[in-house]
A and B are shown apart, each in its own frame.
Chain A
Amino acid sequence: MEQKILDIHDLKREFVMGDQTVRALKGINFDIKAGEFVTIMGSSGSGKTTLLNILGCLDKPTEGSYLLDGVDVKSLNRDELAGLRNTKIGFVFQAYNLLPRTSALENVELPLFYNKTITAEERKERAIKSLESVKLAERFDHTPSQLSGGQQQRVAIARALVNHPVMILADEATGNLDTRTSYEIMALMQELNAEGKTIVFVTHEPDIAAFSTRTIMLRDGKIQKDSINQNQRSAKEALANLPESDDY
C-alpha cells in the first residue's frame, strides 16, 4: 500500500483554440497508491476526460508533473508513450472497443502482439489465464457479436489485464450496461482490486462510485473533493439485493 502508482503534481492542461486558450485542468494534485480503487467523478466539462487522457498516457500535460510508476510521462515521445501504455496501463472503454469478427481470445491477445518480449505460446497462455480470471474461459472462441454486452465488457477487462498493468483505467466502463450487469462488472472490479490490482474508474454515476475505496470529484478543472470511502458497498451484496423484477 506504500508504493505510489500515480503521482500528480500541479497538473495543468490547456488547449489553444484559435486565439482562445481553454484551460481544461487548472492545477491538480493527487497520488494513488498500489491497491487503491479510485473513482474519478465530475459532470460534463469538469475536465474528467482530459484528466483520463493524461492518466492513460494518451495526452501530455501542459504544465506540472505526472509520474506513472516512477516514470515521468512529460519527458516521453509518442513512441515511448505507446510503450508505456502497452506495459503499464490496461484500458477498459465504455464502448468495449473489441475487434469485430475476432474471437475473444484473439481480442485479449492483442496488447501482447505489441510487446516483442512475449512469445506466441506465452501470449496464448496469458490470454487464456486472463479470460479465466473474468470467468469467460469457455467462451474464448466466441466473437463479440456472439457475446452479451456484459460478456463483451468482461473480454475487454481480460484484455486490460493480459499485460499485467500497474493500473486498470476504466472510462465509463458501465455506461452502456443495465444495472444488473453494471453491478456484475463492479463485482468483478472489486474482486480484482481485492487481488491487489490498482483501479482508476472514471464515471459520472454516484451509484458506481460507492463501490470504490476513494472518490475524487472534479469540478471546473479542479479537484472539488478527494475523499476516502468509509463504507464501501459490496457489489456482490448489491447484486443479491436487486429485486427479481429488475432482472431484464
Chain B
Amino acid sequence: MSIINLLKIAFRALKRNKLRAFLTMLGIIIGVAAVIAMMAIGEGSKQSIRSSLSGMGSNMITIMPQSNEPGGVRLQGSSIQTLKLEDITAIKKLQSKNINGLSPVVSTSGQAIKGGYNWPTTITGVSPDYLNIRQLKLQDGILFSENDVKSFAKVCLLGKTVIDNLFPDGSNPIGQIIRFKNIPFQVIGVLEPKGQSNFGQDQDDIILAPFTTVQKRITATNYLQSIYASATTEASSAAATTEISEAIRESHRLTAAETDDFQVRTQAELISTISSTSSMLTVLLTAIAGISLFIGGIGIMNIMYVSVTERTREIGLRMSIGARGQDVLMQFLIEAILISITGGIIGVILGVSSAYLISYFLNWPILIAESSIIISFVVCAITGVFFGYYPAKKASNLDPIDALRYE
C-alpha cells in the first residue's frame, strides 16, 4: 500500500464529507489561531515594555543611600546623607571598563520664575555625563562643561514643560535668565522632549544645572541624593554593580560585618521584573489558547468515532476488496492528520492575520514569533495522530463479515 494511494483514499473520503471535515477542523482552526494571536499580543507587549524601559537608559545604575542600622528610627533614603562626592571619586578611580558614565544627583524643588510667569518644578544638579546616562538629548543650545561644574556656574538646561510655562509666548529661551529660588540662571540649552515615563511622570518637567551650583547656591549641602552611573553594555551592568558596591564600601570604610549604607540598582532588574510579569501573562494567554486546541483535538476524536461507526459498511467493503487492517488504520489516521494539519494551516493564517488586524485597529504592539507558529503546527500534527489513533484502531479491528452486514 503506497503512501500516495493512502493519501488519495483519505483525501477522497474527506471530500465526500466536506462540511463535516470543515466543522471538525474549526476546533483546530480556532485553537491554533488563538494560540498564535495570543502569543503575538503577549510577546508584543513584552517587547514594547522592554523598549520603553531601555528608553529610560537600560544600562542605568542607580546608587541610593540607605540606612544600615536596623535599630532606631529608619529614615527615608533622601534624608540619609551617606553619599558623598568622595564616593564618586572612589568609583572614578576604578577606571572600570564596565562603567562609562557617572553623575551625582542633587535635586530640590522650588519655584522657577521668568518675568511675570512662574512654575513649580525641580532643579537637578548633575554632571555633564547625566545626559548620556538618562538618554537625554539637547534639542538646542549647548551643554554645560566640566569647567562650569568647577566654577559653580549659574547655567541651566530646560525641559519642554518648563519652557512651555515660563515662555508661553514661544520666544527662544536660550540666553535668557530665569530665577530659581531667587538665584538667577542663564539658559544655555533646551532638552528634547521625552514625554511621560512608564510610571506617569512628566520627564520634561526638568531643569538641569551643574551639581556644584545646586549644592553651593541652593541646597547648601555637601551630600548627594543619589549617584547615577551607566554600564557599558546591558550585560556588563552586573559586573559594574559589584565594582561600584565595593568601591563605595571601601570609601565608607565599612567592615565586613556591616551592611551596605547604600543600595545599587540596575534597570536590568526592573526590566526582568516587568518582563517576567508580562511573560506570565503570555503563558496564561497561551495556556487558555492551548486548552481550546486540546478541545479541538477532542472534537476530532469525537467526529472520527462517529465516522467509524457511520462508515462501518464502507470499512467492511474496503476490507472485502482487499484492504488490510493497517490500510484501514492508516486511512483513518491520515484523515485525522489531514483534518488537523489543514486546520493548522488555516489557523496559522487566521491567527497571523488577526494579530495584524488587532495591531492595526487597536494599535496594540504585536510580535509574531516563528516559534509560536512551529509549536502550534507540531501540536496540531500530534493532536491528529493522538486523537485519530484510537478511532482508527477501532476501525482496523473490525471484522469484515460483521462490518459488511452492519445496519
Q: Which residues of A contact B (CB under 8 A)?
A: 53, 56, 58-59, 78-79, 82-83, 85-87, 91, 93, 95, 97, 99-102, 106, 110-111, 113-116, 159, 163
Contacts and interface: CB of A to CB of B under 8 A. Distances in A.
11 contacts: A58-B319, A58-B320, A58-B404, A79-B325, A91-B321, A100-B16, A101-B16, A102-B12, A106-B12, A110-B318, A116-B1
B322 A114 contact: yes
Nearest to B321: A111
Contacts of B323: 82, 86, 114
A93 B322 contact: no
Nearest to A83: B322
Contacts of B404: 58, 93, 97
A222 to B, nearest CB: 22
A97 B322 contact: no
Contacts of B9: 113
Nearest to A78: B325
B8 to A, nearest CB: 7
B327 interface: yes
B321 A110 contact: yes
Contacts of B401: 53, 58-59
B320 A56 contact: yes
B16 A85 contact: no
B16 A102 contact: yes
B400 interface: yes
Given A59-B401, A78-B325, A99 B320 contact: no
B314 interface: yes
Nearest to B9: A113
B252 interface: no
A59 B16 CA distance: 31
B317 interface: yes
Contacts of B316: 97
A79 B17 CA distance: 29
B5 interface: yes
Contact of B314 (A59, A99, A113, A115): A99
B2 interface: yes
Given A58-B400, A97-B313, A116-B2, A85 B326 contact: no
B236 to A, nearest CB: 65
Contacts of A110: 318, 321
Q: Is the interface of B mostly helix, strand, loop or mixed?
A: helix
Which of A78, A86, A99, A113 is packed against the most chain B CB atoms within 10 Å? A113
A6 to B, nearest CB: 18
Contact of A116 (B5, B8, B16, B325): B5
A111 B324 CA distance: 12
Contacts of A91: 320-321
B322 A82 contact: yes
B324 to A, nearest CB: 4
Given A86-B323, A115-B322, 20 more contacts: A58-B319, A58-B320, A58-B400, A58-B401, A82-B324, A82-B325, A83-B324, A85-B320, A86-B322, A93-B317, A93-B404, A100-B16, A101-B17, A102-B16, A110-B321, A111-B321, A111-B322, A114-B323, A116-B1, A116-B2
Contacts of B319: 58, 82, 85
B321 A85 contact: yes
A78 B327 CA distance: 12
A79 B401 CA distance: 15
B327 A114 contact: yes
Interface in B157-181: none
A113 B9 CA distance: 8
Contacts of B1: 114, 116
Contact of A79 (B2, B12, B326, B400): B326
A112 to B, nearest CB: 9
A95 B8 CA distance: 25
A37 B183 CA distance: 124
Contacts of A163: 321-322
Which of A53, A97, A106 is packed against the most chain B CB atoms within 10 Å? A97
A159 B322 contact: no
A123 to B, nearest CB: 9
B380 to A, nearest CB: 27
Contacts of A113: 5, 8-9
Interface string B87-124: 00000000000000000000000000000000000000
Interface string B1-37: 1100100110010001100000000000000000000
Contacts of B318: 110, 114
Which of B2, B313, B314, B320 is packed against the most chain A CB atoms within 10 Å? B320
A101 B5 CA distance: 19
Interface in B305-320: 313-314, 316-320
